[in-house]
Chain A
C-alpha cells in the first residue's frame, strides 16, 4: 500500500500547498486576485480623489524633456508589468529595437544587422517623473530619422515617440515580485504602424501586454471636474465639452464651450471639501452644466454621450487620446491616467 501511495505524494503536495497559499493569501498572484475581487465587488472608482497639486517634481528633472511632452497628442495604452526589464541596458535595447524595426519594415527582404539603417532608436529615462519614491523611473523611447549624409551628424527628425510611466502606482506595485517593472501607462505619438512594431517588440522581449486605454464618459466627467478645480495663473484655453448624439444618418456633435473662469466659479460653488473632489461634487458639477444647457436649448445632455473634455490643464478624448497643456499639473493628470491604466490591467 505504501509503495502505491508514494508516487502520488508529489502532485498532492503541490496542490495542497497552493491551497494553503490561497488561505494565507501570501503569493503575489493571490494578492492580485484579492484586489480584482475588491475592485469588482465595490464601485470601481473611489468616491473621492485629490485635486491635482502643483507637481512635486524633483530637482533633477530635465525641463526640456518635460516641455517636449506637452502640447502633443498622445494615444494611451495600458501595459502589464515588464518582465526582466533593466534600466542599465538601454544601449542594448536601442540596438535590438533598431534591428527589429529594420527587420519588420523590410519583411521578406535581406536584412543586415549592422547599424547602417536610416533610423536611430534612443532610450532615455525621464528623471523625476514619478509620484512617490517607490514609483519606478519613467522612460522615453524615440525614433529619429538619421540624416542621409554621413557628414551631417546633427540629430534627425523625430519620427515617433513613446513613453512609459507610473505615477502613484502603489496598488499595482504591491502585487508583483521584483522581477517585474511596473509602468502601467504608455503614451505614444507617431504613426500607428510604428507603435505596432515597437509594441510588438516590447511584448516579445518583456512578456508584457499593451491594450488601448479608452476613457469612458464617467471618467471624462471626473477629469472635467478635477481639471476645472486646478488653480491656474492664467488660462490658456477655454473649457470645452463635446457630446455625441447617436442618430442616423450622421451622429450629431454638441460642443459646449465655457469661459474657464466661469467654469471655475461654478466649480467653487459646488465644491465643499478642500483639496478633494468627491463623486457627489462631480455629479453636481455636471448636472449644473446640463440644466444650464437645458434651460437655453431644451436638450437633455445627460441623455447623450460625453466624448471629449478640454480645459487649460489638459484635454482628453474618449478614444484614449490626451493632450497635456499645463506643465504644473502634468504629474496630477498622469496620476489619474495611471489609475485608469491599473484598473484596466487588473
Chain B
C-alpha cells in the first residue's frame, strides 16, 4: 500500500519537475505505453498465473491513468486528428480507476484544475466532476486553487453548481479546513447568485464557526430571506447563526423541523460509501485497524456491530453540572480522550486521567485498552465488561437460541476477537466461563468447534470439583460420543487449559515465598484441583483408548498431554507429580509405532528427573513439607520403570503382577516370549533391527535377530539413536546402567 503511494508520489514529482518540458513528458508517456503493450501480451500468454495477471492489470491501470491525467493536464493537442476519440478514451480510463479505487490527491488536484479552467466543454466537466472520488483524502490546497478558478469566470454556472455540490459531498474528506474557512467571505458573497444559493448555504452550514457569525452577515441573510421568502436552506443557516449567537437574531424560526438541504451528495453516494469502507477497511497501520469504527449493516437495534465503537464521550459523567452547553461537551476537561490514544507511551503518560470508553465492550478491539484493563483495579470497569460480554455472548450464540442460524460468520468472528483478547491478556474472562456453563449443555460439538474449545482452555483457574458438574461432565459426554478427531481436539484443549492453570499457579506460588502470604493452605487446594484435572484427563484417555482400538493417532495427543504433566515440578516449580494411568502406559509401551515408544521414553525420563529433583529438595529442606509426595507415586513410577526396562532391555517383561497361562502362550506360538520383548524384538523397533542388520551385514543370507548382542547391541543402539529416537536415548542414558548389557 505504502509502496504504491511512494511510486505515485515519485511519478507526481517527475511530472512537476518535467512540467516545463512537454516533449519529455510525452516521451515518458510513450514509454509507459510501450510497457503496457508488453504487459498485455504477457498476460495474454500467462493466463495460468492469475496473481501475476492481476498485478499486471493493476500496473496497467496505473500507467493508463498517468497517461490520461497528463493528457488532461496538458490539454488536447490541437494537431491530433482524432481528438474526441482520445478524449473519450482517457476519460474512460479515469472514470474506471476513480470508481474502482478512487483517485490520489494529486490526481484530484489536476482534474479540479482541468474542470474549472474551462479547457473542455461543460459535458466533459460534468463527467470529470462525477468521477472525482478520492482514494483517501483531498488536499486543502486543491480546493483553494479551485476556488480561485471561480473568480476568473471561465466556467459556466452549471459547472459552478456542480463544484459546490461536489465540495459539500466531499467535505469530510478534505484534510484541513482552516484555509477554506478563510474564504468564508467569498463563499458568503456567492449567496447572491440564485442558482448557487442553496448549495453555498449548505457549504456555509458545514463551514461556519462561531467567529464567522457577524451582524452584517445576519442582516444580509435576513435581506435574502425577505427577497426570496422562507427558503429551507436560508433557514438552516439562520438557525445555525442563532445557535451560535442567539442575541443577534430575534426573528422566530419555525419550530417544526424540515429537511433543510436536498441531499446534494447523492451523485456520489455509493462511491463515497466505498471510499469510507476502503479508508476504514484497509488502513495503512495496524493500530488504526484496531481503532477503526467499522459499521457493518445495522442488523438489529441492540448493536450496530457486535462490539461497540470506541467512544469516550460520556454524557452521564458530565451531566451533573447544570447549564451545560453543547460546546462544553466537545471541549476537554483535563482527561485524556480515547480517540487520541495511539501508542503505548501515551497510555503510560495518561493512565491516571484516561477517559474510559462509554461502552466497556469496546476495549476488545483495542490492544492498548486491554493493557489498561489488565492492570486496573477498579471493579466497576470489570463488571461493566462482564455484563456486556456475557449478554452479548448469549445474544449472539448461534445454538443458544432457536432459529438463530442466519448470522453466519459473525459469531465465530466474535469468538475469535474474544480469544485474541484472552490470549493477549493471558487470562480468561469470567463472562466466558459463565457462558460456557450455560451453553455447553446445548452445544452440538460441531458448531464453532475450534473457538469453543479454545474458550474452554482459557477458563480461569478454579476448583475442579466445582466446575466439573457444570462443564467437564457435559464435555465428557460429548467426548465419548464423537469422532476421534473431536477427541483429539478436546485433549489438545485440555492440555492448553492445564498449561494456563500451571502458569497462573506458578506465578502465584512465586509471590507467596516473597510475601509470606496468609493463604498458605490454599496451595494444597490448588494442587489438588490440578491433580483432579489430570486424573480426569487420564480417565478420558483410558476410556478413549478402548473406544478407539488403541489408535496411534489418539495416543499421540494423550502423550502430548502427559508431556506437560510429567514436567510440572521442574518447569513450573509446583509440588505435583501425577503419573499416567496403566490404560495409557501399557498401550504406549506395546505400541506398534516407534514414535509413540520414543515419546513414552522421553516422558518416563522427565518423570524420573522431576521425581529425583523433588526427593533431593525434600532431603535438603529436611523439614517434612506439606507437599512431600506419597511413597505410592514413587512405587508406581518404579513399577512402570521395571516394566519398561523389562520390555526394552532385559527381555524379562512383566515379572511381577502379571501371569499368563503357558498354554495360551503356546497356542499363540510365543512360548519363548521372554526374548520377544527387547529393543530388537519389540514390535515398534523390529523394522529398525532388520534394517540395521541388512545395512551392516548386507551379505548375510539370513537375518538373524538374536545375533544382536554384545558389541552388536551397542552398535544397534547407536543406530537407533541416529535414526532420531532421542527420547529412547535419554531414557537409556538415565535409567539403565550400561554394565547390564545382556
Within 8 A of B (CB), among A1-54: 9-16, 19-20, 22-23, 27-29, 32-33, 36-37, 40-41
A84:B386 contact, CB within 8 angstroms: no
Contacts of A96 in B (CB 8 A): 315, 319
Interface check A114, CB cutoff 8 A: yes
Given known A-B contacts A16-B511, A40-B470, A93-B319, A110 and B261 have beta carbons under 8 A apart: yes
CA distance A113 to B391 in the complex (A): 33
A80 near B379 (CB under 8 angstroms)? no
Is A207's beta carbon under 8 Å from chain B?
Answer: yes
In whole angstroms, what is the CA distance A93 to B236 when docked? Answer: 26
- The yes or no answer to A157 lying at the interface (CB within 8 A) is no
Say which residue of A92, A106, A112 sits within 8 Å of B324 (CB atoms).
A92
A-B contact count (CB 8 A): 164
Residue of B nearest to A35 (CB): B434
**What is the distance, in angstroms, from A259's C-beta to the closest C-beta of chain B?**
35
Query: Does B434 contact A150, Cβ atoms closer than 8 Å?
Result: no
Assess A40 versus B375: contact at CB under 8 Å? Given A148-B256, A203-B302.
no
Contact with B along A117-129 (1 / 0, CB 8 A): 1100000000000
Give the residues from 93 to 110 in chain A that come closer than 8 angstroms, CB to CB, to chain B: 93, 96, 102, 106, 108-110
Q: Which residues of chain B are near A11, meaning CB under 8 Å?
A: 374-375, 507
> B504 touching A207 by the CB < 8 A rule?
no
A206 CB–B CB distance under 8 Å: yes
Residues from chain B with a CB closer than 8 A to the CB of A15 are: 427, 504, 507-508
Secondary structure class of chain B's binding surface, majority of residues? helix
- Chain A residues lying within 8 Å of B390, measured Cβ to Cβ, are 345
A112 proximity list for chain B (CB < 8 A): 239-240, 243, 257
With A28-B379, A177-B379 as contacts: A108 and B263 at CB distance below 8 Å = yes
- Which of B257, B315, B511 contacts A116 (CB under 8 A)? B257
Task: Note all chain B residues with C-beta closer than 8 A to A14.
Answer: 374-375
Cα distance, A40 to B511, chains bound together (Å): 34
Asked if A131 is at the interface of the complex by the 8 Å CB criterion, the answer is: no
Q: How far is the CB of B365 from chain A (nearest CB, A)?
A: 16
Interface of A is mostly: helix
Tell me whether B547 is interfacial, beta carbon within 8 Å. no
B435 vs chain A, min Cβ distance (A): 9
In chain B, what residue has the closest Cβ to A210?
Answer: B302
Chain B nearest Cβ from A342, distance in angstroms? 12
Stretch touching chain B among A192-200, A223-231, A274-282, A329-337: A192-200
User: Complex: how many Å from CA A211 to CA B517?
Assistant: 43
Residues of A within 8 A of B469 (CB): 41
> Nearest residue in A to B471 (C-beta to C-beta)?
A40
- B residues 491-515 near A (Cβ < 8 Å) are 504-505, 507-508, 510-512, 514
- Beyond the given A23-B525, A32-B430, A86-B320, please list 13 additional residue pairs across the A-B interface where CB-CB is below 8 A: A20-B517, A27-B379, A29-B383, A36-B437, A40-B438, A85-B316, A114-B243, A116-B255, A118-B255, A148-B255, A208-B387, A209-B395, A345-B390
Q: Complex formed: what's the CA distance from A27 to B381 in Å?
A: 12
Q: What separation, in Å, do the CA atoms of A180 and B260 have in the docked complex?
A: 41
> How many positions in chain B have a CB within 8 Å of any CB in the partner chain?
68
Q: Is A179's CB within 8 Å of the partner chain B?
A: yes
Least distance between A150 CB and chain B CB atoms (Å)? 7
A109 vs B261: C-alpha distance in the bound complex, in angstroms?
A: 7
B311 to chain A: closest residue by CB: A204
23 interchain pairs, CB-CB under 8 A: A12-B508, A15-B507, A16-B517, A19-B461, A23-B519, A29-B382, A37-B437, A40-B437, A41-B469, A80-B388, A81-B383, A81-B387, A109-B260, A112-B240, A113-B326, A118-B256, A146-B255, A177-B380, A180-B383, A200-B302, A204-B308, A204-B359, A208-B387
